[in-house]
A and B are shown apart, each in its own frame.
Chain A
Amino acid sequence: MNKKFFATPYIIWMTGFTIIPLLLILYYGLTDKTGAFTIDNIVSIATPEHAKALFLSIGLALISTLICLILAYPLAMILKSLQVNQNRFIVFLFILPMWMNFLLRTMAWQTLLENQGVINAIFRFLGLPQMKLINTSYAIIFGMVYNFLPFMILPIYNVLIKISDDIINAAKDLGANQFQVFLKIIFPLTLPGVISGITMVFIPALTTFVISNLLGGGKILLIGNVIEQEFTFSGNWHLGSGLSLVLMIFILVSMALLAKYDKNGEGTVF
């Protein structure tokens, strides 16, 4: 039997669920309601409200990714230094929330962060001032970090545990101190994990509308919310598709930049 036979289901899948939808988005994005070709939908990103949403999205996604990286890297290092049984258990603890529904987890934070919510109740009990937590950019960043942190930890941890003790000992043997070992050996070797971690946090953070809906209370519009509203409330699929295309271009460009950095990381970081 021809081996290509086994690829058929995947080809059907990709055609039906990736390529055709993409072409549809492309079609809607580049036409108006009468079906005539236009670039108005694309250009409309330049309108103040759309541009503001896009830059806010990029900003919040960057901050969340950075916070995830800062939290995840030391944690992955700690996990590596633990004994095998212990680190498996802790990795399990970090993955455990992912078994619950994403919406449910985020809604739970809604009740925690509310003005009359659990956290403010604790503050009140301790005599601390009440804080406005919900419906702020901080709440959205918090929601992103909380939801996406495991996607940063796992790839970094996975490359980190593959670095053998012999490599680290060899670097020490050749005169490197702890800091130099980290800078010249451990970090460059974990770069592929860092990059896939960044990819897996940055993209969903950039496109999310659920987190900003639930924790931003609809008052803070990210580009994801704008696109969602075009499709649901306004019913303007053409504008929604056009903005989606713009967002896609931003993602492609950022991936290309990362890939370039990764290639450099293979040889010239030292």
Chain B
Amino acid sequence: MANKLIELVNISKTYGDNVVLDDLNLYFNENKFLTLLGPSGCGKTTTLRIMGGFETPDTGSVLFQGKDIKSIPPNHRPLNTVFQKYALFTHMTVADNIAFGLKIKKKSKAYIQDKIKYALKLVNLDGFENRMPDSLSGGQQQRIAIARAIVNEPKVLLLDEPLGALDLKLRQDMQYELIRLKNELGITFVYVTHDQEEALTMSDTIVVMNQGYIQQIGSPEDIYNEPENAFVADFIGESNILSATMVEDKLVNILGVNFPCVDTGFGQNKPVDVVIRPEDIDFVAPDEGQLKGRVTSLIFKGVHYEMEVMANGFEWLVHSTDMQPVGTEVGMKVDPFDIQIMNKPTSEDEEAVKVDE
């Protein structure tokens, strides 16, 4: 475990009566793209600010390569932060903004000039040295903010919803640019966002948080396909979440119908939650499916149609390129490996998964 880059141990943070983080443990290694994902108020930004040194945890320690840096002020930490609203120094040129950290470290003029050129090239803004930040667009300002951070060669770059203020198209472009940057620089990115699509696109590892607890840590595929609880399933993409009973290994009873599945080890006749992604439901002829129902709504979404089907007393959300008009009687089928079985929440911290309806 020698190559743990940052490790958070038993971190708790409270503002007044509001518990923001409760006994959080998390570590990550070098050269990873780690995303802290969750709804607002889940503690993701506080976690990032604790790493950056802008907040002090009530308890616990922050280890950097095994050393506790909790009491080291931000200006002496080997990390740099990109803030949500860019936080550029508006009274300085782009070049002076980028040079800020290097001038404080008293680097030579030639070194600083080289670094400014290199950083501007990296973020595709060559020739912008003498512009003032106010004269740049939001996307350009954010790229300057990134350039200003990376010239200091931090081991870890902390990014606090850096794309939040940009429009959709620009955001998507910047996502690819961030992935490229991370690969070129070979440093660790810790990225905070509430946007699940952004997280799935960019991350090596996603940490899903809610109400101060970590809900699940895993690769984007794991998080999407194998959500550990109803909160994660609901937060990452759209899903049908139902209460069901595990009849025996590889057989689950959902709304009175027995579905074959691939999960084992839950015991017999045990209440569980199941997740079925809307795109994993296939339409078949009305009498050939596991479920029979009637389409109650139809919305065209571009890539697919979104339909709601009333069957066995539940409104099933179905995504399909196969359009079924409202009122059609349809059969539905789900493949065994597309049914995700989850334990019902038992302990206090798992209750944080209760999703607001």
Q: Which A residues are within 8 Å of any B CB, using their own CB?
A: 164, 166-167, 169-177, 180, 184-185, 188-189, 191, 265-267, 269-270
Best-buried of A166, A175, A270 by chain B (most CB within 10 Å)? A175
| Beta-carbon contact of B80 and A174 below 8 Å | yes
Q: Given A172-B75, A173-B52, A175-B75, check contact A164 B85 (CB 8 Å).
A: yes
* Cα separation A167 to B77 with both chains bound (whole Å): 17
Contact of B83 with A by CB under 8 A: yes
Q: Tell me the B residues contacting A by CB distance below 8 Å.
A: 52-54, 73-77, 79-81, 83-85, 87-93, 96, 100-101, 104-105, 132, 145, 148-149, 152
Contact residues of A: prevailing secondary structure: helix
A175 to B84, CA, bound (A): 19
Q: In the docked arrangement, what's the CA distance between A152 and B93, Å? A: 28
| Chain B: minimal CB distance from A253 (Å) | 26
B77, B89, B96, B145: which has the most chain A beta carbons within 10 Å? B89
Contacts A166-B87, A269-B91 given: A171-B81 contact, CB under 8 Å?
no
A183 to chain B, nearest CB (A): 11
Chain A residue nearest in CB terms to B145: A170
Give the distance to chain B from A106, nearest Cβ to Cβ, in Å: 38
Docked CA distance A184–B104 (Å) = 10
Are A175's CB and B132's CB within 8 A? no
Contacts of B77 in A (CB 8 A): 173
Is the Cβ of B91 less than 8 Å from the Cβ of A170?
no
21 A-B pairs (CB sep. < 8 Å): A164-B85, A166-B84, A166-B85, A167-B88, A169-B74, A169-B83, A169-B87, A170-B83, A170-B89, A172-B54, A173-B80, A174-B80, A174-B152, A175-B101, A175-B152, A177-B75, A188-B91, A189-B89, A189-B91, A266-B91, A269-B91
Roughly how many angstroms separate A270 CA and B54 CA in the complex, as a whole number? 25
**Assuming A174-B104, A174-B148, A175-B152, is B75 touching A167 (CB within 8 A)?**
no
Determine whether the beta carbon of B84 is less than 8 Å from that of A173. Answer: no
Q: Residue on A with the closest CB to B154?
A: A173
Measured CB to CB, the nearest residue on chain A to B77 is: A173
Residues on B with beta carbons closer than 8 Å to the beta carbon of A164:
85, 87
Q: What is the chain B residue whose CB lies nearest that of A188?
A: B91
CA distance A270 to B100 in the complex (A): 9
The total number of A-B Cβ pairs within 8 Å is 75
Bound-complex Cα distance A171 to B148 (A): 10
Q: Which residues of B contact A176 (CB under 8 A)?
A: 75, 100, 104
CA distance A167 to B89 in the complex (A): 7
- Residues of chain B within 8 A (CB-CB) of A171 are 89, 100
17 further A-B pairs in the complex, CB-CB below 8 A; given A169-B74, A174-B75, A174-B101: A164-B85, A166-B84, A166-B87, A167-B87, A167-B89, A170-B145, A172-B73, A173-B80, A173-B149, A174-B104, A175-B75, A175-B76, A177-B75, A184-B100, A189-B91, A191-B91, A267-B93
Q: What CA separation (Å) do A270 and B74 show in the bound complex?
A: 22
Max chain A Cβ within 10 angstroms of own Cβ: one of B81, B84, B145, B152: B81
Please report the C-alpha to C-alpha distance between residue A175 and residue B148 in the assembled complex, in whole angstroms. Answer: 12
Q: Which residues of A have CB within 8 Å of B93?
A: 267
Q: Which of A166, A173, A189, A269 contacts B90 (CB 8 A)?
A: A189
Give A261 Cβ to nearest chain B Cβ, in Å.
13
CB-nearest residue of chain A to B74: A172
Instruction: Known contacts A166-B87, A267-B93; decide if A175 and B54 are in contact (CB<8 Å).
Output: no
- Report the minimal beta-carbon distance from B69 to chain A, rounded to whole angstroms: 14
